[in-house]
A and B are shown apart, each in its own frame.
Chain A
Amino acid sequence: MTISVFGRSNPSPARARLAGSAPSALLAIAPLVICLALSPVAAQAQEQPAAPNTVGTAPDGSKTHGGQEATKDDLGKYTLPDGSPTYHITSDGTLDWYAYSGYRRYHAECHVCHGPDGMGSTYAPALANSLKNLTYEQFTEIVVNGKKTVGVGTADQVMPAFGENLNVMCYLDDLYVYLKARADGAMDRTRPSKREDKTKAYGDNENQCFGRN
């Protein structure tokens, strides 16, 4: 089984990295939300996407990022050929579980800074825009380690490191998938209605991530 979430018993490289820098981990004062201080990003060493950076129709008729073919695992997660997770909307409008779960988690952990539906606020950027440029790896790095833009004459923007926050880290892929769907224009601002159900494997993995077996 693929362990996509942050299992306590399965430390991921990101967690190992954080554990190695204890002082910064201690400074991880958290906000109410994922205050991603993402600026329009750094096009560094980004792999050339084979497909257009928007929503498209995949060979099976579903909507995915760039219309690429996506494979589904037993967690209910869809993955693109490059290994990054994607949203998946079938031709009858059924949304995948991760995008739905991401919608829910975003509006608990992130929206107090980043605004409803990834639209931004007076002090944090609109992630529905930021995710147009951020790669999965860049997204993960910022959520885990945080980001600061502080200076004179600006609206200081500080996002804390969420590497230690299970309510965020256990749903990292969910959040990415949801925000990518928003950035691609695959999801609008209304609450998703038709969706796939949570799988048993997902639930087991979730419990394992929170250490509540």
Chain B
Amino acid sequence: MRKLACAALLMGVAVYAWPAAANDGLTKIIKDPKQWGIQTGDYANTRYSKLDQINAGNVGKLQVAWSFSTGVLRGHEGGPLIIGDVMYVHTPFPNIVYALDLNNDGRILWKYEPKQDPNVIPVMCCDTVNRGLAFSDGLIYLHQADTTLVALDAKTGEKKWSVVNGDPKKGETNTATVLPVKDKVIVGISGGEFGVRCHVTAYDSKTGKQVWRGYSMGPDSDLLVDPEKTTALGKPIGKDSSLKTWEGDQWKIGGGCTWGWYSYDPETNLVYYGSGNPSTWNPKQRPGDNKWSMTVWARDADTGVAKWVYQMTPHDEWDYDGVNEMILTDQQFNGAPRKLLTHFDRNGFGYTLDRVSGELLVAEKYDPSVNWATKVDMDKNSPTFGRPLVVAKYSTEQNGEDVNSKGICPAALGTKDQQPAAFSPKTNLFYVPTNHVCMDYEPFRVSYTAGQPYVGATLSMFPAPNSHGGMGNFIAWDNTKGKIVWSLKEPFSVWSGALATAGDVVFYGTLEGYLKAVDAKTGKELYKFKTPSGIIGNVTTYEHGGKQYIAILSGVGGWAGIGLAAGLTDPNAGLGAVGGYAALSNYTNLGGQLTVFAIPN
């Protein structure tokens, strides 16, 4: 930092104030609520801000302060970063990065646009989204669609180094953000629908040199596990824990992708994340538990070696990727303080685990419509301990190939997808954006060709039957009891990441384009504003010049832009059903815009 300040003084061009904390590491930025240094806000993934200038009493007066068009029309996930007086905004493919001067009405300080082969576009499942940048020690990290990880000088946009993490010709792409941890950057990869065997990789943050890589499946040496010390539900996983659960060489095209969020606990030095679905979507083609797809992983940040794993959905039959965020909290559980990990899985269960030991504490449905399993077996003496008890009628494995299994809840997009939840330590509640959608699912045989889709199922989706007719809910969840505290109906899936603040307000966006503010205790709606396009981005807050701001990216798309753009099939078609089945295209259109809100003076 000192060097930079001196240089600026010598050159006499101190155009904007560089934050004092910039070179002191990400930890200080995370502790400073005025800034927002990584997508998840903090290492614990709480998406909670201590700022309280905007609060439940005055949020109704919120107004647009300024806005910015990204110039890109695809789905905009993630959100901006705020480091000192500069805001960093990213876009979907082609993955442009803008540095905006907050002292000068968002004037563009620099712009970085990578050159990528457009042939990567159709290899990306479900739109060309990107879930954003990360900052650490003066560098902005961009993980491009084509899996190139780039470190940019935060001040100038100059490329410091880059490294290629995968090969799009094999179906390997990226949509996720990265997590800087100490002297490393933790990076995931996508491609579960292309038979990619996915992994998590740590690169040296100064040079881009690969430090470790742990695969989701394969031999123990690839998994980075110790068969005697790595545990699952309290017991050592043993030798060849993954290989034993696949037929032949199928693990080599096994999926288990790592495109979700990453959290980190400095005390345990563990990085937490989830792995995705096993390939293909046809369960009959891959007998076995398919470990360690659909798994919560806790890996040592320095060595990558897993301390514990927990597979939520063994032998997936519905595409319930386990990639959603792991939220780390220190709370009272059964009268004692515990270090908890809370995870809202695609499969519809909200899990609470002890994040040190991996002990399973709570697993309850966070949408009452979830029907594919009756419950997760919590009896430690049961042979099926920790496993979901699957309902035969909804088992696409048991019903078999070429049979259409009907009315499965949730749909493949899960009760929640990647859209991250928030946690407020003031209420001890989690605020969860959810999907309220069910499906018919028919698996069939497919052939594998490298770089080509490897799906193997036909599915159709519809709003959860016998409910409010909408396709989403925004809920408050008690993770120690496994109970919904309140639930707000939404006509469309809530595909936007939530933000909780010390002002007792919770923010989220909707697919029609509304930014909404609700009371953290009651869920009462306090404010809404319709932005130019549907929101699949995550709400961010920061303080600049003594004023608190709320920022959100609009830009409909993503998986939400697929079914919902057309309107989902009405299961009661012709029976006079009306309501929330109308196409999203009747409400909003493509766009890419950042909208920033504040309370007027």
- Whether chain B is bound by chain A comes out as yes
Using a CB–CB distance below 8 Å, which chain A residues touch chain B? 26-33, 35, 103-109, 111-113, 115-117, 119-123, 126, 146, 148, 150, 153-160, 162, 164-167, 188-191, 210
Whether A35 contacts B455 by the Cβ 8 Å rule is: no
| Bound-complex Cα distance A213 to B583 (A) | 45
Known contacts A31-B122, A122-B557, A160-B123: A108-B455 contact under CB 8 Å: yes
**Other CB < 8 Å A-B pairs besides A30-B451, A167-B447, A188-B573, 4 of them?**
A31-B121, A121-B562, A123-B561, A190-B569
* Chain B residues bordering chain A, tally (CB within 8 A): 54
A-B contact pairs, 8 of them (CB 8 A): A29-B122, A112-B125, A122-B565, A123-B127, A156-B121, A167-B455, A189-B569, A191-B440
Whether a CB of chain A sits under 8 angstroms from the CB of B194 is yes
Interface stretch, picked from B42-50, B70-78, B286-294, B423-431, is B70-78
Looking at the assembled complex, report how far the CB atom of A144 sits from the nearest CB atom of chain B, in whole angstroms: 13
Q: From residue 51 to 78 of chain B, which have CB atoms closer than 8 A to chain A?
A: 71, 73-75
| Bound-complex Cα distance A156 to B446 (A) | 29
| Bound-complex Cα distance A112 to B562 (A) | 6
Q: From residue 559 to 601 of chain B, which have CB atoms closer than 8 A to chain A?
A: 561-563, 565-569, 573, 583, 590
Whether a CB of chain A sits under 8 angstroms from the CB of B382 is no
Whether A29 contacts B569 by the Cβ 8 Å rule is: no
CB-nearest residue of chain B to A107 = B458
Q: Of the candidates A27, A32, A103, A122, which one forms a contact with B453 in the assembled complex, judged by CB atoms under 8 Å apart?
A: A32
Whether A156 contacts B565 by the Cβ 8 Å rule is: no
| Bound-complex Cα distance A103 to B451 (A) | 24
Whether B121 contacts A32 by the Cβ 8 Å rule is: no
Whether B74 contacts A155 by the Cβ 8 Å rule is: yes
Whether B452 contacts A167 by the Cβ 8 Å rule is: yes
Whether A158 contacts B171 by the Cβ 8 Å rule is: no
> Could you say which of A35, A103, A108, A150 has the most chain B C-beta atoms within 10 Å of its C-beta?
A108
Whether B449 contacts A27 by the Cβ 8 Å rule is: no
Looking at the assembled complex, report how far the CB atom of B178 sits from the nearest CB atom of chain A, in whole angstroms: 23
- Which A residues touch B454, using CB under 8 A? 167
- Which A residues touch B122, using CB under 8 A? 29-32, 35, 113, 146, 158-160
| Bound-complex Cα distance A154 to B565 (A) | 18
Q: Of the candidates A26, A116, A121, A150, which one forms a contact with B118 in the assembled complex, judged by CB atoms under 8 Å apart?
A: A150
- Which B residues touch A164, using CB under 8 A? 449, 452
| Bound-complex Cα distance A29 to B119 (A) | 6
* Residue interface mask B439-461, A partner, CB < 8 A = 1: 01010101101011111111111
- Which A residues touch B567, using CB under 8 A? 119
CB-nearest residue of chain A to B461 = A116
| Bound-complex Cα distance A132 to B95 (A) | 35
Known contacts A32-B125, A156-B118: A111-B562 contact under CB 8 Å: yes
CB-nearest residue of chain B to A152 = B71
* Residue interface mask B160-173, A partner, CB < 8 A = 1: 00000000110100
| Bound-complex Cα distance A37 to B148 (A) | 26
Whether B565 contacts A32 by the Cβ 8 Å rule is: no
Whether A158 contacts B119 by the Cβ 8 Å rule is: yes
* Residue interface mask B87-129, A partner, CB < 8 A = 1: 0000001100000000000000000000000111111111110
Whether B74 contacts A120 by the Cβ 8 Å rule is: no
Whether A167 contacts B123 by the Cβ 8 Å rule is: no
Known contacts A158-B122, A160-B122: A165-B440 contact under CB 8 Å: no
- Which A residues touch B573, using CB under 8 A? 188-190
- Which B residues touch A30, using CB under 8 A? 122-123, 171, 194, 449, 451-453
Whether B73 contacts A155 by the Cβ 8 Å rule is: yes
Looking at the assembled complex, report how far the CB atom of A134 sits from the nearest CB atom of chain B, in whole angstroms: 19
Known contacts A115-B566, A116-B569, A158-B122: A122-B193 contact under CB 8 Å: no
Whether a CB of chain A sits under 8 angstroms from the CB of B370 is no
- Which A residues touch B127, using CB under 8 A? 121-123
Whether B75 contacts A122 by the Cβ 8 Å rule is: yes
CB-nearest residue of chain B to A106 = B458
CB-nearest residue of chain B to A35 = B122
Whether B562 contacts A104 by the Cβ 8 Å rule is: no
CB-nearest residue of chain B to A191 = B460
| Bound-complex Cα distance A158 to B561 (A) | 16
| Bound-complex Cα distance A116 to B125 (A) | 15
Whether A31 contacts B566 by the Cβ 8 Å rule is: no
Whether B452 contacts A165 by the Cβ 8 Å rule is: yes
| Bound-complex Cα distance A198 to B121 (A) | 35
| Bound-complex Cα distance A121 to B446 (A) | 25
| Bound-complex Cα distance A143 to B50 (A) | 53
| Bound-complex Cα distance A119 to B440 (A) | 18
| Bound-complex Cα distance A108 to B444 (A) | 9
CB-nearest residue of chain A to B584 = A122
- Which A residues touch B171, using CB under 8 A? 29-30
Looking at the assembled complex, report how far the CB atom of A98 sits from the nearest CB atom of chain B, in whole angstroms: 15
CB-nearest residue of chain B to A153 = B71
- Which A residues touch B128, using CB under 8 A? 123, 156
Whether a CB of chain A sits under 8 angstroms from the CB of B556 is yes
CB-nearest residue of chain A to B457 = A108
Known contacts A115-B566, A121-B565, A122-B127: A155-B590 contact under CB 8 Å: yes
- Which A residues touch B444, using CB under 8 A? 104, 108
Whether a CB of chain A sits under 8 angstroms from the CB of B404 is yes
> Could you say which of B193, B194, B455, B461 has the most chain A C-beta atoms within 10 Å of its C-beta?
B455
| Bound-complex Cα distance A35 to B460 (A) | 18
Whether A112 contacts B566 by the Cβ 8 Å rule is: no
Q: Of the candidates B75, B94, B459, B557, which one forms a contact with A107 in the assembled complex, judged by CB atoms under 8 Å apart?
A: B459
- Which A residues touch B71, using CB under 8 A? 153
Looking at the assembled complex, report how far the CB atom of B451 sits from the nearest CB atom of chain A, in whole angstroms: 6
| Bound-complex Cα distance A14 to B119 (A) | 21
Looking at the assembled complex, report how far the CB atom of B164 sits from the nearest CB atom of chain A, in whole angstroms: 15
Whether B460 contacts A116 by the Cβ 8 Å rule is: yes
Whether B458 contacts A104 by the Cβ 8 Å rule is: yes
Sorted nearest first, the 3 A-B pairs with minimum C-beta distance are A119-B566, A31-B122, A122-B561
Whether A108 contacts B458 by the Cβ 8 Å rule is: yes
CB-nearest residue of chain A to B71 = A153
- Which B residues touch A121, using CB under 8 A? 127, 561-562, 565-566
- Which A residues touch B404, using CB under 8 A? 191
Whether A29 contacts B565 by the Cβ 8 Å rule is: no
CB-nearest residue of chain A to B560 = A122
- Which B residues touch A167, using CB under 8 A? 446-447, 449, 452-455
- Which A residues touch B446, using CB under 8 A? 108, 167
Looking at the assembled complex, report how far the CB atom of B168 sits from the nearest CB atom of chain A, in whole angstroms: 6
Whether B193 contacts A108 by the Cβ 8 Å rule is: no
| Bound-complex Cα distance A106 to B74 (A) | 23
- Which A residues touch B447, using CB under 8 A? 166-167, 210
- Which B residues touch A189, using CB under 8 A? 569, 573
- Which B residues touch A120, using CB under 8 A? 565-566
Whether B126 contacts A32 by the Cβ 8 Å rule is: yes
CB-nearest residue of chain B to A126 = B566
Looking at the assembled complex, report how far the CB atom of A173 sits from the nearest CB atom of chain B, in whole angstroms: 17
| Bound-complex Cα distance A187 to B408 (A) | 24
> Could you say which of B119, B171, B556 has the most chain A C-beta atoms within 10 Å of its C-beta?
B119
- Which B residues touch A108, using CB under 8 A? 281, 444, 446, 455-458
Looking at the assembled complex, report how far the CB atom of B446 sits from the nearest CB atom of chain A, in whole angstroms: 5
Looking at the assembled complex, report how far the CB atom of B283 sits from the nearest CB atom of chain A, in whole angstroms: 14
| Bound-complex Cα distance A56 to B453 (A) | 36
